[in-house]
Amino acid sequence: MSLQKFVDASPYKWPYNGDMRKENTCIIVIDMQVDFCATGGYVDSMGYDISLTRAPIKPIQSVLQCMRKEGYHVLHTREGHRPDLSDCPPNKRWRSKQIGAEIGSAGPCGRILVQGEAGWEIIPELQPLEDEIVIDKPGKGSFVGTSLDLILRNKGITNLILAGVTTDVCVHTTMRNANDMGYECLLLEDCCAATDPANHEAAISMIKKQGGVFGSVTSSEKLIQALSSD
């Protein structure tokens, strides 16, 4: 029987059973795209401060370097819609129009949140390696309308480490869904961000309630320390 391995996390050491191995553990880097993290993208067009969504870049880079070196699974997600917008709900498109950044409309980085456009691409600082899977999703969560669950189960992955943007929307939705599906989830607090710091803090607080209702929370430093230990 292999030795147990834990990450120092709150409200409990993660994973709950100490079964953290490169074979069953994966990081999912969620939606670190030009549209969410760069000048001229969707978030910038809505008038939000992109320095907030760019803050996780360096911590994520450090985690990826460590996890790749240690042989752990790495996945990425991208949110975007078909060019004909046939997979974009009308109410989602309507809401984006109200705030001045209509999905599918032309912007500085191409058509907003449309597959194949410059804004849809993952930022250069966090480009996936050639053998790393990218999950293209039409909504907030990473499971709905995608093959993510099938991929994870085929690979024997049970532990999910979550990073990316935004903490309160796409990351939280993915974490909640994953928890309901039986995955053991860990959110990296400094590797996530929201367009409002208060939303980020609230999302973190929610995870820690009820003994870790959706999983546990830690920092990139504590994860790297655990991954690098014998």
Residues acting as catalytic residues: 31, 137, 170
* Cβ atoms of 148 and 157 closer than 8 Å: no
Contact criterion met (CB below 8 Å) for 193 and 200:
yes
Whether residue 174 contacts residue 166, with contact meaning beta carbons closer than 8 Å, is answered with no
What are 115's two structure tokens? 């597959």
Helix, strand, coil distribution of the chain in percent, nearest 5? 40, 20, 40
Question: Residue 75: which of 203, 215, 178, 207 has the closest Cα?
Answer: 178
CA distance 169 to 203: 9
